[in-house]
Amino acid sequence: MTSKEIMNRFQKKYKNVARMLIACPDQPGIVAAISRFLYEKGANILQSDQFSQDPEGGMFFMRIEFYLQDLDNKLDQLRDAFSLVGEKFLMNWRITSASKPKKMVIFVSKEDHCLNEILWQWKAGDLNTDISMVISNHEDLRATVEQMGIPYHYIPVTKDTKEQAEAEQRRLMEGNVDFIVLARYMQILSPYFVEHYPNRVINIHHSFLPAFVGGKPYDRAYERGVKIIGATAHYVTDELDAGPIIEQDVTRVSHRDTVDELKREGRHIERIVLARGVKWHLEDRILVHKNKTVVFV
């Protein structure tokens, strides 16, 4: 399936469908106010999920999919009108078109398993995204990417050139990125880089966080004799491997497994966990509150 065919498929599937994500202090009347607003605008609610931390003083979270005829021409007006509801209930909210693909940039180094999983799911028409480019600090995966018709940019990174490399990365992405996926990109992003993309950089860490933060987690897991290994997809923050967790999974291992066998098993988990996190981000299923997430799946 070509990029154009993928985009056409989702445009047809989600024509006139929008998504609303809401986080606000919990109080009576929120659901009624939202439902009434959508009804008065002629919208039909297709799906609604909500979660309340604590009805007395906690936070309220909600995700709604709705259908509205001629959505593209009404979306801006809809947002303007809903701002009054948002102000009343102190909401952090957004309304997006479900058919519009988000622009994704993938960062990689040498390992290809996470990249290949994302490319395969995209090629199969399972991810509603426009892959703007792949950026790497190595040349190893150029052929893999370019044969899919995706631009590949090689930007080497050293301790002395990190600032210049990140400036070049940001220059390339200007106007071409909604979010970034670190598909086993083996570089730590600077706080200055991260602050430009809050809750828009998804990383896969090859460990079941918060265990074994940082480098060589499989080696350290082997040394500790763990009985399960896992992977964690999370949003990137200034603190290494400590951002809001999106998805995790594990598999059992034993004392018979070598470090290489742990890595081989781990690669299967990493690619699936990252792909899930990317898909949920694309489908507007994730709400971030402080350093936690609410994921409506």
Residues 6+ apart with CB under 8 A from 140: 109, 110, 112
The answer to whether residue 241 is catalytic is yes
Pick left, alpha or beta for residue 35 (phi over 0 → left; psi -120 to 50 → alpha; otherwise beta): alpha
Calpha distance 34→106 (Å, rounded):
36
Calpha distance 274→280 (Å, rounded):
10
DSSP state of 211: S
The CA distances from residue 193 to 21, 162, 178, in Å, are: 26, 11, 14
Let me know: does 101 contact 11? Beta carbons within 8 Å.
no
- Residue among 257, 258, 259, 157 nearest 206 (CA): 259
Let me know: does 219 contact 226? Beta carbons within 8 Å.
no
β-pair partners for 232: 205, 248
Calpha distance 285→61 (Å, rounded):
11
Let me know: does 109 contact 116? Beta carbons within 8 Å.
no
Calpha distance 272→181 (Å, rounded):
14
- Please report, in angstroms and rounded to a whole number, the separation of the first and last CA atoms in the chain: 26
φ, ψ for residue 127 (rounded to 5)? -120, 120
Catalytic residue among 54, 130, 160, 241: 241
CB atoms within 10 A of CB 249: 15
- Catalytic site positions: 241
